[in-house]
Structure 1
Amino acid sequence: MVAIDATTPPVADPVVPSARIRNADEWMMDYQGGPLRLFKDAETGEQFWYATYTIVNRTKRERSIAPQWELLDEEGRLFSAGEGVPRRVQRAIQSLLANPLHEDQSSLIGDIMTGEENAKSGVAIWKAGPDVKRFSILITGLSNIKKPFVDPLTKKAIILKKTWRLDYQMNCDRVALIGAVPLAASSDEPNPRWTMR
């Protein structure tokens, strides 16, 4: 896994014969994230992170998107939104939010028309992994911008995608966050921010 941002020194573009990257029509969606909260399943006692969001297409034409949400913890573990999340937990969180406009993340795959009036809103849910103090939410599929890169460890050519990143740091026991208390994003760097990953 490689993540670079504005603080990473530039690397000369490698020759990547198999990767053709079009830059003629680059675009990015406007992502408006809601607070991150913790939910406890009354049936099993399992904990789940969830966050609402709105995606707005401010480009000049309809676009096709396939957003993916991942939670990256300080140990390097990745958790995909929706993975290991029972349907009853999804329903319970949707009921808690009481907003009929919130779709689950799989419903957002497809075309998004331009303008605020055509914005798509939803909720991303992750099974809470081990109790860690720092983690990030990474969202791909909000932009078509890609960049060739050579992994410094494997020396293999890879393609980095423009990724929306939000960093979090926990300054309390995770149990204290169950319910309506949101966890605020925090970082020494601009947060949230675009990064290449």
Structure 2
Amino acid sequence: MDVLDHLTAARLVPVVVLDDAARASALADALVAGGLPVAEVTFRTPAAADAVRAVADHGGVLVGAGTVLTPDQVDQAVAAGAAFVVSPGLSRAVVERCREHGVAFLPGAVTATEVQAALELGLSTVKFFPAATSGGTAAVRALSAPFAGVRFVPTGGIGPDDLAQWLAVPSVAAVGGSWMVPRDRIAAGDFETVRELTARAVALAAR
């Protein structure tokens, strides 16, 4: 099973912001205990690369790097052990660097032009971002008609109340979200709450 198949099987991708890499191992424990051994650690803080490394070293979680904007960040992410890379938009330079490293890549795409550009670069799974403000499920369903082979991972503004409607779209491979990994709870070391929220999210996705 390749990385994208793992994400599809998980149905959920926790989007994590870690301000302190020392919290990463405990976060990984909480995700595993909650039944969701997947994490997208965003490159939004100085601790990102070290956090990816700590989660990768944990061994029980499929870890990727998110908010990757440049080839240099791809290099950092892969060196830290990221199994996949996620961007908010589509960059040919980032695609090519991911291909050089042999790492799976999810570019952001919300328009027909962007989806077609991703296809031309050899990609068939894209991050639909920002999902809630870019037409929602209706937009993904509309895009799925001309792009029948494309899988979408909607992220941005999705929560437990609308998770089911996103997962009901046939072309949605998985849903990204941060509600089960609140930044403030991680910073506070409250990993029991993270575990509980993760377990609830997994249960919702299984319905």
Greater gyration radius:
1
Give the TM-score taking structure 2 as reference length: 0.27
Give the TM-score taking structure 1 as reference length: 0.28
Please identify which structure carries the higher helix content.
2
Please identify which structure carries the higher strand content.
1
Q: Relative contact order: is structure 1 or structure 2 higher (C-alpha 8 Å, sep ≥ 6)?
A: 1
